[in-house]
Chain A
Amino acid sequence: MRRHRLRLRARFLLSVLLVVGAISGVMAYMTYQRSREALLDSSQEQLWDLAGSHAAELALRLERVAQVTRDLASTLGILQPHRPELLVKLMRRHLEDSPRVHGLAVAFQPYAFSRAYRLFGVYLRRSRRGILTMRMGSDREDGGTPWLLDAGGDEGSREPVVKDYPRRDWYLLPVLLARPAWIQPYYGEAGQTLMTTYAVPVLVGGKVWGVVCADVALDKLGWEVSRLSVGREGYAFVITRQGTFVAAPEAQWVMRETIFSLAEEQNRPDLRRLGQRMIRGGRGVLKIQDWLRRRAVWLAFTPIKGPGWSFGAVVPESEVLAPVWEQARWQAYLAGLGLLGLVLLLWLLVMGLTRPLKTLAAGARRLAEGDLKTKVEGVPPGDEVGDLAEAFNHMVDELNRYVAELTETTAAKERIESELDLARQIQQSILPRTYPPFPHHSQFDLFARTIPARQVGGDFYDFFQLPDGRIGLVVADVSGKGVPAALFMTVTRTLIKNSSAYHPDPVQALLEVNAQVVPDNEMCMFVTVFYGVYDLTSGEMVYASAGHPAPFLRRASGEVERLEEAKGQAIGVMEVMNLKPGRVRLEPGDVLLAFTDGLDEAINQQGEMFGMERAAQWLKGCEPCTAPEMIERLVRFHAEFTGPAEPFDDLTLLVFRRKE
Chain B
Amino acid sequence: MRQVSPLIWLLSLLLAACLVLAVAVVPAGAGGGKTPPLDRVSVQLVWVHQAQFAGFYMAQDQGIYRRYRLKVKIKPGGPGIVPLKNLRMGGCDFAVSWLSSAMVDKSRGAPLVNLAQLVRRSALLLVAFKGKGIEKVKDLDGRKVGMWGGQFSLAPRALFRRLGIHVQEVLQNVSVSPFLAGAVSAAAAMRYSEYHQLYQAGVDPEDLVVFDLSRLGVNFPEDGIYTTQRFWEMAPGVCRRFVRATLEGWRAAFAQPEEALESVMRRVEAARLATNRSHQRWMLGVMREIIAGGAPGEMGRLSARDFALVNRVLMEEGIIGTPVAMRGFAVPAWRSEP
Q: Which residues of B contact A255 (CB under 8 A)?
A: 274
Selected contact of B172 from candidates A172, A258, A259, CB within 8 Å: A172
**Interface membership of A169, Cβ < 8 A:** yes
- Taken together as a complex, chains A and B put the C-alpha atoms of A168 and B181 apart, in Å, by 14
Q: Is the CB of A261 within 8 A of B276?
A: yes
Q: Is the CB of A173 within 8 A of B177?
A: yes
Of the 9-residue stretches A272-280, A312-320, A449-457, A565-573, which lies at the interface with chain B? A272-280
Top 8 A-B pairs ranked by shortest CB distance? A176-B183, A242-B201, A264-B278, A265-B278, A261-B276, A167-B171, A260-B200, A261-B200
CB distance from B144 to the nearest CB of A (A): 7
Q: Is the CB of A260 within 8 A of B272?
A: no
- Taken together as a complex, chains A and B put the C-alpha atoms of A173 and B172 apart, in Å, by 10
Which A residues have a C-beta under 8 Å from some C-beta of B? 166-169, 172-173, 176-177, 181, 183-184, 187, 191, 241-244, 255-261, 264-265, 272, 275-276, 279
Q: Is the CB of B202 within 8 A of A276?
A: yes
- Taken together as a complex, chains A and B put the C-alpha atoms of A182 and B199 apart, in Å, by 21
Q: Is the CB of B180 within 8 A of A265?
A: no
- Taken together as a complex, chains A and B put the C-alpha atoms of A181 and B177 apart, in Å, by 11
- Taken together as a complex, chains A and B put the C-alpha atoms of A242 and B198 apart, in Å, by 8
Q: Which residues of B contact A167 (CB under 8 A)?
A: 149, 171-173
Which residue of chain B has its CB nearest to the CB of A258?
B200
CB distance from B277 to the nearest CB of A (A): 6
**Interface membership of B238, Cβ < 8 A:** no
- Taken together as a complex, chains A and B put the C-alpha atoms of A241 and B202 apart, in Å, by 9
CB distance from A215 to the nearest CB of B (A): 16
Which B residues have a C-beta under 8 Å from some C-beta of A? 144, 149, 170-173, 175-178, 180-184, 199-202, 204, 272-279
Q: Is the CB of A166 within 8 A of B171?
A: yes
Which residue of chain A has its CB nearest to the CB of B282?
A264
Q: Which residues of B contact A184 (CB under 8 A)?
A: 175, 177
Interchain Cβ contacts under 8 Å between A and B, 13 examples: A167-B172, A172-B170, A172-B183, A176-B178, A183-B177, A242-B201, A244-B201, A256-B276, A258-B202, A260-B199, A261-B277, A272-B202, A276-B204
Given contacts A176-B144, A260-B201, contact A265 B276 (CB under 8 A): yes
CB distance from A639 to the nearest CB of B (A): 101
Q: Is the CB of B183 within 8 A of A177?
A: yes
CB distance from B80 to the nearest CB of A (A): 10
Question: Which of B183, B199, B275 counts the most A-chain CB atoms under 10 A from its CB?
Answer: B183
- Taken together as a complex, chains A and B put the C-alpha atoms of A167 and B147 apart, in Å, by 10
- Taken together as a complex, chains A and B put the C-alpha atoms of A183 and B176 apart, in Å, by 11
- Taken together as a complex, chains A and B put the C-alpha atoms of A275 and B275 apart, in Å, by 18
Q: Which residues of A contact B144 (CB under 8 A)?
A: 176
> Can you name 13 extra interface pairs (CB under 8 A) apart from A167-B172, A244-B201, A279-B202?
A167-B149, A167-B171, A167-B173, A169-B173, A172-B183, A191-B272, A241-B180, A242-B177, A260-B199, A260-B200, A261-B277, A264-B278, A272-B202
CB distance from B140 to the nearest CB of A (A): 16
CB distance from A166 to the nearest CB of B (A): 7
Q: Is the CB of A257 within 8 A of B173?
A: no
Q: Which residues of A contact B181 (CB under 8 A)?
A: 173, 177, 181
Which residue of chain A has its CB nearest to the CB of B182?
A177
- Taken together as a complex, chains A and B put the C-alpha atoms of A258 and B178 apart, in Å, by 18
- Taken together as a complex, chains A and B put the C-alpha atoms of A257 and B201 apart, in Å, by 10
CB distance from B192 to the nearest CB of A (A): 15
Given contacts A256-B275, A261-B279, A279-B202, contact A242 B180 (CB under 8 A): yes
Which residue of chain A has its CB nearest to the CB of B177?
A169
Q: Which residues of A contact B279 (CB under 8 A)?
A: 261
CB distance from A169 to the nearest CB of B (A): 5
Given contacts A169-B173, A176-B184, contact A261 B202 (CB under 8 A): no
- Taken together as a complex, chains A and B put the C-alpha atoms of A191 and B200 apart, in Å, by 22
CB distance from B261 to the nearest CB of A (A): 11
Given contacts A173-B178, A176-B178, A184-B177, contact A256 B274 (CB under 8 A): yes
- Taken together as a complex, chains A and B put the C-alpha atoms of A181 and B180 apart, in Å, by 12
CB distance from A190 to the nearest CB of B (A): 11
Q: Is the CB of B202 within 8 A of A260?
A: yes
Q: Which residues of A contact B177 (CB under 8 A)?
A: 169, 173, 183-184, 242
Selected contact of A173 from candidates B183, B200, B202, B276, CB within 8 Å: B183
CB distance from A196 to the nearest CB of B (A): 12
Q: Is the CB of B199 within 8 A of A169?
A: no
Q: Which residues of A contact B180 (CB under 8 A)?
A: 241-242
CB distance from A244 to the nearest CB of B (A): 8
Q: Which residues of A contact B178 (CB under 8 A)?
A: 169, 172-173, 176
Which residue of chain A has its CB nearest to the CB of B171?
A167
- Taken together as a complex, chains A and B put the C-alpha atoms of A183 and B201 apart, in Å, by 14
- Taken together as a complex, chains A and B put the C-alpha atoms of A256 and B274 apart, in Å, by 4
CB distance from A448 to the nearest CB of B (A): 118
Q: Which residues of B contact A279 (CB under 8 A)?
A: 201-202
Q: Which residues of A contact B149 (CB under 8 A)?
A: 167
Q: Which residues of A contact B200 (CB under 8 A)?
A: 243, 258, 260-261, 264
Question: Which of B178, B201, B202 counts the most A-chain CB atoms under 10 A from its CB?
Answer: B202
Q: Is the CB of B278 within 8 A of A169?
A: no
- Taken together as a complex, chains A and B put the C-alpha atoms of A607 and B199 apart, in Å, by 102
CB distance from A162 to the nearest CB of B (A): 11
Which residue of chain A has its CB nearest to the CB of B268?
A256
Q: Is the CB of B173 within 8 A of A168?
A: yes
- Taken together as a complex, chains A and B put the C-alpha atoms of A229 and B221 apart, in Å, by 51
Q: Which residues of A contact B183 (CB under 8 A)?
A: 172-173, 176-177
CB distance from B143 to the nearest CB of A (A): 12
Q: Which residues of B contact A242 (CB under 8 A)?
A: 176-177, 180, 201-202
Q: Which residues of A contact B175 (CB under 8 A)?
A: 169, 184
Which residue of chain B has its CB nearest to the CB of A264?
B278
- Taken together as a complex, chains A and B put the C-alpha atoms of A51 and B210 apart, in Å, by 38
Q: Is the CB of A265 within 8 A of B172?
A: no
Q: Which residues of A contact B204 (CB under 8 A)?
A: 276
- Taken together as a complex, chains A and B put the C-alpha atoms of A265 and B200 apart, in Å, by 11
Q: Which residues of B contact A173 (CB under 8 A)?
A: 177-178, 181, 183
- Taken together as a complex, chains A and B put the C-alpha atoms of A328 and B10 apart, in Å, by 89
Which residue of chain B has its CB nearest to the CB of A276?
B202
CB distance from A275 to the nearest CB of B (A): 5
Q: Which residues of B contact A191 (CB under 8 A)?
A: 272
Q: Which residues of A contact B171 (CB under 8 A)?
A: 166-167
Which residue of chain B has its CB nearest to the CB of A272?
B202
Q: Which residues of A contact B276 (CB under 8 A)?
A: 256-258, 261, 265
Q: Which residues of A contact B201 (CB under 8 A)?
A: 242-244, 258, 260, 279
Q: Which residues of A contact B170 (CB under 8 A)?
A: 172, 176
Which residue of chain A has its CB nearest to the CB of B173?
A167
- Taken together as a complex, chains A and B put the C-alpha atoms of A259 and B201 apart, in Å, by 8
- Taken together as a complex, chains A and B put the C-alpha atoms of A459 and B173 apart, in Å, by 141
Q: Which residues of B contact A258 (CB under 8 A)?
A: 200-202, 276
Which residue of chain B has its CB nearest to the CB of A166?
B171
Q: Which residues of B contact A257 (CB under 8 A)?
A: 276
Which residue of chain B has its CB nearest to the CB of A277?
B202
Q: Which residues of A contact B277 (CB under 8 A)?
A: 261, 265
Which residue of chain A has its CB nearest to the CB of B279?
A261
CB distance from B333 to the nearest CB of A (A): 36
Q: Is the CB of A261 within 8 A of B278?
A: yes
- Taken together as a complex, chains A and B put the C-alpha atoms of A187 and B273 apart, in Å, by 11
CB distance from A183 to the nearest CB of B (A): 7
Q: Which residues of B contact A272 (CB under 8 A)?
A: 202
Q: Which residues of B contact A181 (CB under 8 A)?
A: 181
- Taken together as a complex, chains A and B put the C-alpha atoms of A241 and B199 apart, in Å, by 13
Q: Which residues of A contact B278 (CB under 8 A)?
A: 261, 264-265
CB distance from A603 to the nearest CB of B (A): 101
Which residue of chain A has its CB nearest to the CB of B176?
A242
Q: Which residues of B contact A259 (CB under 8 A)?
A: 202
- Taken together as a complex, chains A and B put the C-alpha atoms of A275 and B272 apart, in Å, by 25
Which residue of chain A has its CB nearest to the CB of B180?
A242
- Taken together as a complex, chains A and B put the C-alpha atoms of A169 and B204 apart, in Å, by 23
- Taken together as a complex, chains A and B put the C-alpha atoms of A243 and B273 apart, in Å, by 17
Which residue of chain A has its CB nearest to the CB of B184?
A176
Q: Which residues of A contact B273 (CB under 8 A)?
A: 256
Q: Which residues of A contact B173 (CB under 8 A)?
A: 167-169
Which residue of chain B has its CB nearest to the CB of A241?
B180
